[in-house]
Amino acid sequence: MSVHRRFDSILAEAVTKFEWTLVDRATVRLQLPALPEAGLPEPPRIRLDFDAGGIDEMIDRLTALRSQMLPEPHRDQPRTFASFWSTDLP
């Protein structure tokens, strides 16, 4: 297996392992998958904690970026995961 194909395989597996959890009533945690790093005995664990304000800012930014993307598909086309979050559901 080539280095690029192996890296793509590891990256694809990692992307599916993002985990969002509610830590307490004020904090949401994003835990990123552990990616092996040469020279380290264990892969680093990365956890990002966000408060409600941080989540609101992310939603606002993603909403602004979404408005710059391609338009939503026609209603007769099947809905994709990306369009699932649309507020104008049928």
Q: Tell me the C-alpha distance between 18 and 46, whole Å.
A: 11
Q: Are 56 and 73 in contact (CB under 8 A)?
A: no
pLDDT of residue 25: 93
Query: What number of other Cβ atoms are within 10 A of residue 14's Cβ?
Result: 13
Task: Output the CA angle 85-89-90, nearest 5 degrees.
Answer: 150
Q: What is the full per-residue pLDDT of the chain (90 aa) written as tens digits?
A: 555 566 666 666 656 678 899 999 999 999 988 877 888 888 888 899 999 999 999 999 999 998 898 887 666 656 565 555 555 544
What residues does each domain of the chain span?
A: 9-60
Q: What distance in Å separates the CA atoms of residue 51 and residue 87, rounded to the nearest whole number?
A: 23
